[in-house]
Amino acid sequence: MVNPDLVSHLSKLQLTEFVKAKLGPASRPPQVLSNWNPSPAGWVKINVDGSFLLGSNVGGVGGVFRDEA
């Protein structure tokens, strides 16, 4: 025979485990913060990034050029 109290208890344990798993730490690496420093006089810093959608011909690229100002 099924014990309703046991079923209720086990259900609560499963729900608690599920909620903890869903609310656990993010799977991405920790974010590293750094400060931007201007380039030396006469130099230009270039920042570029790009991405694409896997399995398609869709992508993008962007860049920033910055001097000491």
DSSP code string of the chain: ---HHHHHHHHHHHHHHHHHHHTS--SSPPPPP----PPPTT--EEEEEEEE-TTSS-EEEEEEEE---
Model confidence at 49, pLDDT cuts 50, 70, 90, reads: very high
Give the tens place of pLDDT for each residue, 4-32: 888 888 898 888 888 877 666 666 777 78
Better-scored residue on pLDDT, 69 or 54:
54
Looking at the chain, the whole-number percentage of residues with pLDDT higher than 70 is 91
- Quick check: pTM over 0.75? no
List CB contacts of 47: < 8 A, sequence separation 6 or more.
63, 64, 66
Residue 18's Cβ-side half-sphere holds a number of Cα atoms within 13 Å equal to 6
Taking the CA atoms of 14, 16, 17 and 18 in sequence, report the sign of the dihedral they define.
positive
